[in-house]
Structure 1
Amino acid sequence: MNDTFQLDDLDRRILTILQKDGSQGTNALAEHVNASASSCWRRIRALEEAGVLGSNVRLVNPAAIGRALDVFCHVRMKSQGAGARASFQQALEAEPTILEAYTISGEWDYLLHLIVHDMQDYERILMGHVLDHDSVAATSSIFVLRRVKHTTALPV
């Protein structure tokens, strides 16, 4: 069974515009994609109901709020048990500075992405929220020197 939503050309145009500027009103969007406002409104609702479009958010420039250090942290677990994983994942959810967390294949079990104020801020989170967890065996940190490319837009 295929659960992939079937996009047509109009859907793709709508998604491309909304990924660049989610604040577009229906009338402006309709003008950009060469469709009627009511057609755009119906398409957006259908894309939302199908789970293709998520919530509307505004992206914050990390440097503008003093969060200039991007860090990726590999985590190795002592135990792969369901309880250990659930407890660790709950701890990750509770720390807002951890923006993304992935379970991964290979020698590490998790990859975390944080954007912090500085090295001391990262140390506080690493020591108090990651390494302090009973299930964590080891970590390895990668500090970003410069962000070369960053996008939230998916090719449609």
Structure 2
Amino acid sequence: MVKTDTSGLTQLGANAGLPASPQEAVLERVPHSNAGERYVVRFTAPEFTSLCPMTGQPDFAHIMIDYVPRDWLVESKSLKLFLGSFRNHGAFHEDCSVHIGKRIVELLDPEWLRIGAYWYPRGGIPIDVFWATGPEPQGIWIPEQGVPPYRGRG
């Protein structure tokens, strides 16, 4: 087994506070030590929060990020801090969801990435946002995200 090169990381193993905003958050990456192997990496953030830009009220989502790496992997602590930086950030559901996907793509240049953002209702309407870099790649098992659509009390 190859040891992952962590020499360039600034947050892992250090006391890193929550960034004040997604723009200030530093996403970090490590080399993909299994280059040539095709597989899906999944991150699940079931307690994601942001703020409504109009009311300042909290919004909650279950975020699922799937990607097929090329040369890089996202470092999970930096991802956790990046996602946490939305806690005091005001943006619409669609903006938060797509921004997360685009930042990761900018960092990693993965073969493929999709984000499923399953937002809990506010004002009686759930908003789910799905974004991907393209069609699912062939020849690789990509599991369903497994988050049921909101059904309310019906």
**Which TM-score tier does this pair reach, normalised by the shorter chain?**
under 0.3
> What TM-score do you get using the length of structure 1 for normalisation?
0.26
Structure with more of its chain in strand, by fraction = 2
